[in-house]
Amino acid sequence: MTSGEAGPDPGSAFVAPELPDSAALWLLRHGETEWSASGQHTSHTDVALTDAGERQAKALRSVVAELKPTLVLCSPRRRARDTAGLAGLHVDEIDDDLVEWDYGAFEGRTTAEIRKSIPDWTIWDSGVPGGETASQVGARADRVLARATSRLADGPVVLVGHGHFSRVLAARWIGLPVTAGARLLLGTAATSVLGAQYGTPLIVRWNIPNPAA
């Protein structure tokens, strides 16, 4: 989606269908990369996992071994695909909607560097030149969630992706705006579980530390 295309109001809510209490939507963030370790914003740059990131990904095997997902969707980025493979997950389909927030001109830059020219900048409320708006990221998140919920009655669904985008997914899942993701910290190779109670979407577990951390 280009910066000129409209998306949903970032303050609107994702509307989930009626969900069983057994619904389990797993979010897996990719393992450590050199850029995640240094705090550089990484979207389309296809950086590899570090040795530590590979250890983190392998450690996820013990977390997902008994999961038996009905559907596994993965970002096309190498760091996500390698994380899924090392974790022992069979990826059913690569989903372009699972890519990280497009940081535009701020790709590869850290928040500290950006704040030298834009004090108090954050991705959540300041925007990025040449990148995605919150509305555009929210539109992608809503498409992913709609696709995932269509399969949740059959069993767990796993989404393997990225930090900021996974935080957006969680915010949208519980009916909050995209910007609420700012309050959901997520570590590398951490797992989270979204679910439901009496049909209401909720966060069951969040930012479960990686066993190799």
pTM of the model: 0.92
* CA geometry: angle 118, 185, 100, nearest 5 deg: 70
Neighbours of 24 (CB within 10 A): 20
**CA 56 to CA 207: how far, in whole Å?**
14
The Cα 201–Cα 23 span in angstroms is 9
Q: Are strands 157-161 and 93-94 parallel, antiparallel or unpaired?
A: unpaired
- The whole-angstrom separation of Cα 32 and Cα 189 is 7
> How would you write 47-88 as a 3-class SS string?
CCECHHHHHHHHHCHHHHCCCCCCEEEECCCHHHHHHHHHCC
**Spatial distance between the Cα atoms of 98 and 94, rounded to a whole number of angstroms:** 8
| Amino acid at the residue 165 | F
Active site (annotated) includes residue 30: yes
Q: What SS3 class is residue 194?
A: strand
Residues 158 and 70: beta-carbon distance below 8 Å: no
Decide if 50 contacts 198 (C-beta within 8 A). Answer: no
Catalytic residue among 32, 54, 100, 132: 100
Q: Rounded to whole angstroms, what are the CA distances from 94 to 32, 144, 150?
A: 20, 12, 17
pLDDT of residue 1: 35
Q: Do residues 16 and 173 make contact, with C-beta atoms less than 8 angstroms apart?
A: yes
Answer yes or no: 100 catalytic.
yes
- Structural contact between residues 30 and 169, judged by C-beta atoms closer than 8 angstroms: no
DSSP annotation of 33 reads: B
Amino acid identity for residue 160 in this structure: V
Length of the chain: 213
Please, what are the averages of pLDDT over each run of 10 residues along the chain (213 residues)? 42 69 96 98 97 98 95 98 98 98 98 96 94 96 95 96 98 95 98 94 96 88
